[in-house]
């Protein structure tokens, strides 16, 4: 299926559409100089542009000037949309792919209320039953969720389609919260935050005593976090999961039906390549019935890992496990050597990175502090990326080095503990209102999670006989 258009016909925002400058980009509340986005951008607003902006960073579109300013800030990731209106829920059809989960379908349908629904039964052993008024499609052979979603979309006659998996339950009003984004004619996909089922569904039967369930619900790979974002390859949120998303049918390129995993990543990257925007908005939540046994959770992580090879074959370097520059890679290696010479090399390189960032900032107020902060953030991200590579993507190589090198045997446990502690602290800082999990339990399950995902990554690479998903990208 490839029904989507080559790109948006217009980028013009409607009158009344508003955007909000991200407060993190206006250091000290200074709207004149904005620093943020991914990759990092520095924008200086002119006096006329400041005149279009309210004191709290809001811009309302009402003429060509506000139109251009709002669009530039949105596309830079420095501002977020605040649409005043959008399509109606009646303009949406919910498509639910399912294979053998009658209980999940019953639970989901009872939560959806008055909305058009198409259930696509992907050759369940026992045909899925749906109540009167709900359309259904049944496959005679199992084709996978990508094919099921495509078939449901083709059967829908509304302008928008929402995909929900049968093991999800959305919170009340979730569609209304998301549909406003489609007031922007360049937006093709919008996705809510996916959280543990118990956070949105009071009837969820969760095992409160299970540390596995606690980890799955707190640190699911489907949860993109508490911060809204423009979704793009290489950015902090590179894709959104198809377990819960809403699409504009005119922009829908179709899921690749040859994929049984990572079909959502592939769709997002193709959609971005065609010039469409994708938004992630955690104001709306959808509960997901996460796997709560260790075996089931790790097997799912392994399955996700196998998708890396498929993505590398289709998207090349976008699927690389490590993306960095030569200077940053050298600095990270120097720090990880834990030696005087390594620290000296890292210090020299980071001084160079700091000076380059400082020149980029020009006359931005507090430029030195901002340059230092961004240099520290870059090296911190580089260290975490290197640790992830050693512990997650390349752990079979790390295991071999562990067996052969006494120095590596001393170094690897230190990295395993330090990375887990850093990530645990990072999660608490980014999402302080989320339930806190014991750092000891988190560290244990994170390491198992890494082993499972890495095993799947290598499994996929061996099956496809392609190492693209294991090949780092290091630029100048």
pLDDT-derived band at 113 (thresholds 50, 70, 90) equals confident
Q: What is the DSSP letter of 281?
A: E
Q: What angle do CA 278, 282, 285 make, to 5 degrees?
A: 115
Task: Please tell me whether residues 367 and 231 are part of one structural domain.
Answer: no
Q: Is residue 365 part of a domain?
A: yes
Task: Please tell me whether residues 266 and 378 are part of one structural domain.
Answer: no
Average pLDDT over residues 116-120: 98
Q: Is residue 312 part of a domain?
A: no
Show which of 269, 292, 315 is a domain's final residue: 292
pLDDT-derived band at 205 (thresholds 50, 70, 90) equals low
Q: What is the DSSP letter of 435?
A: P
Neighbours of 133 (CB within 10 A): 9
Q: Is residue 6 part of a domain?
A: no
Task: Please tell me whether residues 224 and 191 are part of one structural domain.
Answer: yes
Q: Is residue 10 part of a domain?
A: no
Q: What is the DSSP string of 336-400?
A: HTTSHHHHHHHHHHHHHHHHHHHHHHTT-TTHHHHHHHHHHHHHHHHHHHHHHIIIIISHHHHHH
Q: What pLDDT, in 10s, does the model give residues 153-180?
A: 999 999 999 999 999 999 999 999 999 9
Residue 151: is its pLDDT beyond 60?
A: yes
Q: What pLDDT, in 10s, does the model give residues 370-420?
A: 899 999 999 999 999 999 999 999 999 999 999 999 999 999 999 999 999
Q: What angle do CA 308, 310, 314 make, to 5 degrees?
A: 115
Q: Are 148 and 97 in contact (CB under 8 A)?
A: yes
Task: Please tell me whether residues 239 and 361 are part of one structural domain.
Answer: no
Q: Is residue 33 part of a domain?
A: yes
Q: What is the DSSP letter of 433?
A: T
Task: Please tell me whether residues 252 and 387 are part of one structural domain.
Answer: no
Tokens coding 355: 């000076």
Position of tokens 């299926």?
1
Average pLDDT over residues 140-164: 98
Helix (H) or strand (E) holding 279: strand 277-288
Task: Please tell me whether residues 130 and 271 are part of one structural domain.
Answer: yes
% pLDDT > 90, the chain: 83
pLDDT-derived band at 366 (thresholds 50, 70, 90) equals confident
The CA distances from residue 229 to 24, 76, 187, in Å, are 13, 11, 13
Tokens coding 323: 């993306």
Of residues 395, 397, 378, 394, the one with CA closest to residue 325: 378
pLDDT-derived band at 27 (thresholds 50, 70, 90) equals confident
SS3 170: strand
What pLDDT score was predicted for residue 100? 95
What pLDDT score was predicted for residue 364? 86
Average pLDDT over residues 83-98: 96
Whether residue 39 is preceded by a cis peptide bond, meaning omega within 30 degrees of 0, is yes
Q: Which segment of 27-31, 133-137, 265-269 scores lowest on mean pLDDT?
A: 27-31
Q: Are 349 and 10 in contact (CB under 8 A)?
A: no
pLDDT-derived band at 204 (thresholds 50, 70, 90) equals low
Q: Is residue 317 part of a domain?
A: no
Dihedral angle over CA of 177, 183, 187, 189, nearest 10? 30
Residue 209: is its pLDDT beyond 80?
A: no
What pLDDT score was predicted for residue 3? 57
Work out whether strand 160-164 and strand 244-248 pair parallel, antiparallel, or are unpaired. Answer: antiparallel
The CA distances from residue 193 to 13, 73, 88, 197, in Å, are 25, 23, 21, 12
Task: Please tell me whether residues 208 and 100 are part of one structural domain.
Answer: yes
Q: Are 245 and 264 in contact (CB under 8 A)?
A: yes
Task: Please tell me whether residues 157 and 268 are part of one structural domain.
Answer: yes
SS3 384: helix
C-alpha 130: how far from chain center = 32
Average pLDDT over residues 177-199: 95
CATH number of 215's domain: 3.90.550.10
What pLDDT score was predicted for residue 211? 84
Q: Are 2 and 270 in contact (CB under 8 A)?
A: no
Task: Please tell me whether residues 330 and 466 are part of one structural domain.
Answer: yes
Distance between CA 376 and CA 44 in Å, rounded?
23
Average pLDDT over residues 177-191: 98
Position of tokens 């939540």?
285
Q: How many domains would you assign to the chain?
A: 3
Q: Is residue 305 part of a domain?
A: no
Task: Please tell me whether residues 48 and 63 are part of one structural domain.
Answer: yes
Show which of 34, 65, 82 is a domain's final residue: 82
Q: What is the DSSP letter of 320?
A: -
For residue 123, what are the contacts with CB-CB under 8 A and spacing of at least 6?
A: 99, 138, 139, 140, 141, 142, 143
Provide the sign of the torsion angle of the four alpha carbons 446, 448, 452, 458, taken in this order.
positive
Show which of 28, 55, 82 is a domain's final residue: 82
Neighbours of 205 (CB within 10 A): 9
Distance between CA 190 and CA 181 in Å, rounded?
7
Q: What pLDDT, in 10s, does the model give residues 316-327?
A: 999 999 999 999
Of residues 391, 438, 444, 393, the one with CA closest to residue 415: 391
Task: Please tell me whether residues 466 and 435 are part of one structural domain.
Answer: yes
Q: Is residue 13 part of a domain?
A: no
Average pLDDT, the chain: 93
- Domain that includes residue 60, residue range: 18-82
Of residues 17, 11, 28, the one with CA closest to residue 79: 17
Distance between CA 182 and CA 439 in Å, rounded?
40
Task: Please tell me whether residues 142 and 288 are part of one structural domain.
Answer: yes
């Amino acid at each position: 299926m490839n029904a989507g258009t080559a790109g948006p016909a217009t980028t013009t925002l409607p009158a009344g559409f508003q955007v909000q400058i991200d407060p993190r980009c206006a250091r000290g509340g200074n709207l004149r100089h904005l620093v943020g986005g991914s990759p990092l951008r520095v924008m200086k607003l002119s006096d006329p542009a400041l005149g279009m902006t309210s004191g709290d960073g809001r811009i309302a579109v009402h003429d060509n000037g506000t139109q251009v300013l709002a669009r530039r800030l949105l596309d830079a990731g420095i501002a977020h949309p605040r649409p005043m209106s959008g399509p109606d829920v009646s303009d949406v059809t919910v498509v639910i792919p399912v294979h053998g989960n009658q209980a999940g379908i019953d639970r989901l349908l009872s939560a959806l209320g008055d909305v058009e629904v198409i259930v696509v039964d992907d050759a369940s052993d026992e045909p899925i039953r749906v109540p009167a008024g709900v359309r259904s499609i049944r496959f005679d052979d199992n084709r996978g969720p990508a094919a099921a979603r495509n078939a449901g979309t083709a059967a829908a006659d509304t302008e928008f389609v929402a995909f929900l998996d049968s093991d999800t339950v959305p919170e009340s009003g979730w569609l209304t919260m998301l549909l406003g984004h489609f007031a922007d004619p360049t937006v093709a996909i919008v996705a809510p935050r996916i959280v543990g089922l118990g956070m949105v569904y009071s009837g969820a039967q969760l095992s409160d005593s299970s540390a596995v369930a606690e980890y799955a619900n707190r640190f699911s790979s489907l949860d993109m976090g508490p911060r809204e974002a423009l979704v793009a390859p290489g950015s902090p949120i590179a894709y959104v999961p198809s377990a819960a998303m809403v699409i504009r049918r005119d922009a829908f390129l179709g899921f690749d039906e040859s994929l049984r995993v990572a079909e959502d990543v592939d769709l997002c990257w193709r959609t971005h390549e065609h010039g469409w925007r994708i938004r992630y908005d955690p104001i709306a939540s959808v509960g997901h019935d996460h796997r709560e046994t260790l075996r089931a959770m790790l097997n799912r992580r392994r399955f996700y890992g196998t998708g890396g090879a498929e993505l590398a074959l289709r998207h090349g370097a976008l699927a690389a496990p490590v993306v960095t520059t030569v200077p940053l890679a050298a600095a990270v290696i120097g720090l990880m050597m834990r030696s005087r010479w390594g620290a000296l090399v890292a210090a020299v390189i980071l001084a160079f990175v700091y000076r380059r960032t400082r020149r980029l900032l020009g006359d931005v107020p507090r430029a030195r502090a901002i340059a230092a902060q961004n240099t520290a953030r870059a090296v911190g991200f580089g260290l975490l990326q290197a640790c992830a590579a050693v512990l997650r993507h390349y752990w079979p190589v790390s295991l071999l080095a562990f067996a052969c090198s006494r120095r590596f045997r001393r170094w690897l446990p230190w990295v395993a503990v330090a990375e887990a502690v850093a990530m645990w602290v990072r999660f608490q800082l980014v999402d302080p209102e989320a339930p806190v999990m014991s750092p000891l339990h988190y560290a244990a399950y994170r390491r198992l999670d890494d082993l499972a995902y890495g095993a799947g990554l290598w499994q996929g690479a061996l099956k496809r006989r392609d190492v693209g998903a294991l090949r780092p990208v290091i630029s100048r």
